[in-house]
Amino acid sequence: MTKVPAFATCDLPTLPTMLTSKPAISVHGLTKYYGSRLGVEDVSFDVHPGQVMGFLGPNGSGKTTVMRLLVGLLRITRGEARLLGEDVSDPKGKVRRRVGYLPGTLSLYENLTVEQYLSLLADLRGSDCITDALSMCDRLQLSATSPIKGLSKGNKQKVGVVQAFMHSPSVLILDEPTAGLDPIVQREFEEIVRERRQSGAAILLSSHVLSEVEQLASDVVILDHGRLVVQDRIEVLKSRIERRIRFDFPFVPATEAFAGCPGVVHVEHADRSITCTIVGSENRVLERASHVGVESVRTFEPSLDEIFLTATSGEPHD
Amino acid sequence: MIDRLLLKSLRDRRRGLIGWITGIVGLVIVQMAVYPTVRDSASDWGQATESFPEVMKDMFRITDYTSETGYLTTELLSFMVPFIFMGLGASWGSRLVAEDEEARTADILFALPLSRTSILLTRAATGILALLVSALTFVVSLVIGARILDMSIPNGHFANAGLMVFEVGLVAFGVAMAISTITGHRGVGIGVSMGFTIALFIIYSLAPLVDLFNAVGAWNPMQWTLGSDPLVEGLHIDTLVYVMLWLAVCTVASMKRLDRRDIAG
């Protein structure tokens, strides 16, 4: 198995860098109706080179529809979608040469071996990437000589991952990529995503494993009932939703110590500590705590789960 | 690039093709093995066929049952082999795109940098090639059988017979391709195609008896293909032109619809 360096020190592209580059994935007013049934309506977002966009939403919210529209499997009802500046509706689909796609419901040609399947796709892409594909199989502990028919669900998913990444695409559209993967392979997958991000790929990543999205993505788009409900950087979203800060004091603080402090929506007292639930900037609360004589501060960052649930139902986990 | 898809499709058809070819060769062997018995008792068979109702003789185009051409036409070309090729055409024509959609392998295939048209045409070429191989096998088995039985039918006339059943297969293939590609459902493609071509066959068969069917014969693809006597007459290129036009119309309709619709997944 190929050893890969840890990416703990891998830097995310800075926001200004991303904003000055042209978006690799560009969706504007994207609308899809299946007959009279709504798929998605008026969805707009951009993903820049070197950016991982988490793509979230409850089942049936329209994530897969958007992804299938982007790779040309579905026809757009209204709006526009571009990959690397080219309209996805182009019938020749040349832009897809630089796109890797992993569908949410994966089905492979069962009568081939892993290597035969990957070789077929490499040829159909016009890409000489079979060596890279095989080394990626090695990395994901997948036997290339195995018939696909006999593979477990997890191993089939690995084949799906390899076929999406093997040609080093500039755009990756990944629909539930880690479904069925064991934790070790999930970690390896995350490393591969970080590598592609570092090399400048734009990645749209749909997942129900929110911790995974939180680790990999800098931004999220959340869909609900076919409509975009949230789009922003994760850190900005976190600052916008309610979160808690606990202040410990060397004495029993006054109960009204944080009364009227901007951003504080709830205060809990417990002996020598006060826990504030805040929205927005923490600066004023920290300033007030400092004046009161705080000894230590502990923040409870909201998880992506809380952002997700707040966005889709208004009821965060507690 | 696309040649790999052609090879893959041929590989996928391999077992089915071998099965069908075995069936066709087996049928030819059985039917030709019986011919010496018919030939040796020609007068008895002649009396027997003379006693058939005229309606039946008209429907199945029975003329001289005991002659080499009459026997092979009646036993192989009037019904059995054309129906086999209808089945082949319907089966292979319905698989071009709908099979991938139903198996959900279409999501990765159609997300490749290939146009939908190129995928459809490559798959169609595979099906037509399989039909051609089946027709050639039929011709070769007839030629070998004729040599063994010392028949005097020229090889070119057997080629005509092969062309005829190939054309019948193409008619069914075109309908199956269009219906399955338009609907995205393989079963619908097979069902509609078989129903449609059998209906055309019935209209063709009853044409000598029903004035209306006779009047529309010029528009019936079964009249184009089965309406000649290939073991007696020369090659009818015009019928091939009609069938190719039929196939072209079905292909264009399939391409247009496939290009506009969603891929099922």
**DSSP string computed for B195-219:** HHHHHHHHHHHHTTT-HHHHHTGGG
Q: What pLDDT score was predicted for residue A209?
A: 79
pLDDT digits (tens, 9 = 90+) for A271-282: 899 999 888 778
The tokens describing B72, both together, are 């092979």
pLDDT digits (tens, 9 = 90+) for B202-216: 999 888 888 999 888
Q: What pLDDT score was predicted for residue B54?
A: 76
Q: What pLDDT score was predicted for residue A216?
A: 92
Beta carbons within 10 angstroms of residue B185's beta carbon: 18
Candidates A200, A196, A272, A279; CA nearest to A236 is A279
Question: pLDDT at residue B185 above 50?
Answer: yes
pLDDT band at B3 (very low <50, low <70, confident <90, very high): confident
pLDDT digits (tens, 9 = 90+) for A236-262: 887 777 888 999 999 998 878 888 888
CB-CB neighbors (< 8 A) of B4 in chain A: 120, 123-124
Is-contact A95 A88, C-beta < 8 A?
yes
Query: Residue A110's closest chain B neighbor by CA?
Result: B105
The tokens describing B201, both together, are 């066959």
Is-contact A274 A301, C-beta < 8 A?
no
The tokens describing B2, both together, are 């696309």
Backbone φ, ψ for residue A281 (5° rounding)? -65, 145
The C-alpha of A55 sits at a distance from chain B's nearest C-alpha, in angstroms, of 19
pLDDT band at B1 (very low <50, low <70, confident <90, very high): low
Question: pLDDT at residue A84 above 60?
Answer: yes
Task: Give the pLDDT mean for A138-144.
Answer: 95
The tokens describing B59, both together, are 């429907």
Please judge whether A93 and B114 are an interchain contact, meaning their C-beta atoms are less than 8 angstroms apart. Answer: yes
A101 touches chain B (CB under 8 A): yes
The span from the CA of A68 to the CA of A23, in Å, is 19
Q: Which amino acid is at B139?
A: V
Q: What pLDDT score was predicted for residue A51?
A: 95
| 3-state SS class at A56 | strand
Question: pLDDT at residue A4 above 70?
Answer: no
- Of the candidate ranges A13-17, A87-91, B73-77, the one whose mean pLDDT is the lowest: A13-17
Percent of chain A that is helix, strand, coil (3-state, to 5): 35, 25, 40
- Of the candidate ranges A8-12, A57-61, A93-97, B220-224, the one whose mean pLDDT is the lowest: A8-12
Q: What pLDDT score was predicted for residue B242?
A: 92
Please judge whether B259 and A91 are an interchain contact, meaning their C-beta atoms are less than 8 angstroms apart. Answer: yes
Task: Give the pLDDT mean for A93-112.
Answer: 94
Mutate one of B112, B114, B115, B255 to test the A interface: name it (highest A CB count within 10 A).
B112
Q: What pLDDT score was predicted for residue B140?
A: 96
**DSSP string computed for A1-51:** -------TTPPPPPHHHHHHSPPSEEEEEEEEEETTEEEEEEEEEEE-TT-
Q: What pLDDT score was predicted for residue A18?
A: 54
Strand segments, DSSP code E, in chain A are 25-34, 37-47, 52-56, 78-83, 86-87, 99-102, 171-175, 202-206, 219-224, 227-233, 243-248, 264-270, 273-278, 296-300
Mean pLDDT of chain B: 91
pLDDT band at B61 (very low <50, low <70, confident <90, very high): low
Please judge whether A73 and B110 are an interchain contact, meaning their C-beta atoms are less than 8 angstroms apart. Answer: yes
- The beta-carbon neighbor of B111 closest among A75, A101, A109 is A101
Task: Give the pLDDT mean for B146-163.
Answer: 92
Question: pLDDT at residue B133 above 60?
Answer: yes
A85 touches chain B (CB under 8 A): no
Query: CB under 8 Å, gap of 24 or more: what pairs does A57-63 form?
Result: A57/A222, A57/A223, A57/A224, A57/A312, A58/A224, A58/A312, A61/A223, A61/A224, A61/A225, A61/A226, A61/A312, A62/A32, A62/A223, A62/A225, A62/A226, A62/A227, A63/A175, A63/A206, A63/A223
Q: Which amino acid is at A45?
A: F
Question: pLDDT at residue A223 above 50?
Answer: yes
A91 touches chain B (CB under 8 A): yes
Please judge whether A121 and B108 are an interchain contact, meaning their C-beta atoms are less than 8 angstroms apart. Answer: yes
Question: pLDDT at residue A9 above 90?
Answer: no
Candidates A297, A292, A266; CA nearest to A279 is A266
Q: Each residue of A212-243: b (16+ CB within 10 Å) or e?
A: bbbebbbbbbbbbebebbbbeebeebbbeeeb
Q: What percent of chain A has pLDDT over 70?
A: 92
Question: pLDDT at residue B66 above 50?
Answer: yes
- Of the candidate ranges A241-255, B122-136, B142-156, the one whose mean pLDDT is the lowest: A241-255
Q: What pLDDT score was predicted for residue B119?
A: 95
Q: What pLDDT score was predicted for residue B51?
A: 78
The tokens describing A273, both together, are 């500590």
Chains A, B: CB contacts under 8 A, how many? 85
Question: pLDDT at residue A167 above 50?
Answer: yes
The span from the CA of A52 to the CA of A44, in Å, is 16
Candidates A160, A159, A72, A167; CA nearest to A126 is A167
Beta carbons within 10 angstroms of residue B12's beta carbon: 17
Mean pLDDT of chain A: 88
Please judge whether A123 and B4 are an interchain contact, meaning their C-beta atoms are less than 8 angstroms apart. Answer: yes
The C-alpha of B56 sits at a distance from chain A's nearest C-alpha, in angstroms, of 48
Q: What pLDDT score was predicted for residue B144?
A: 95
Q: What pLDDT score was predicted for residue B217?
A: 85
Please judge whether B105 and A34 are an interchain contact, meaning their C-beta atoms are less than 8 angstroms apart. Answer: no
Question: pLDDT at residue A318 above 80?
Answer: no
pLDDT digits (tens, 9 = 90+) for A275-313: 998 887 788 888 888 888 899 998 887 777 777 777 776
Q: What pLDDT score was predicted for residue A313?
A: 64
Question: How much is the ipTM here?
Answer: 0.85
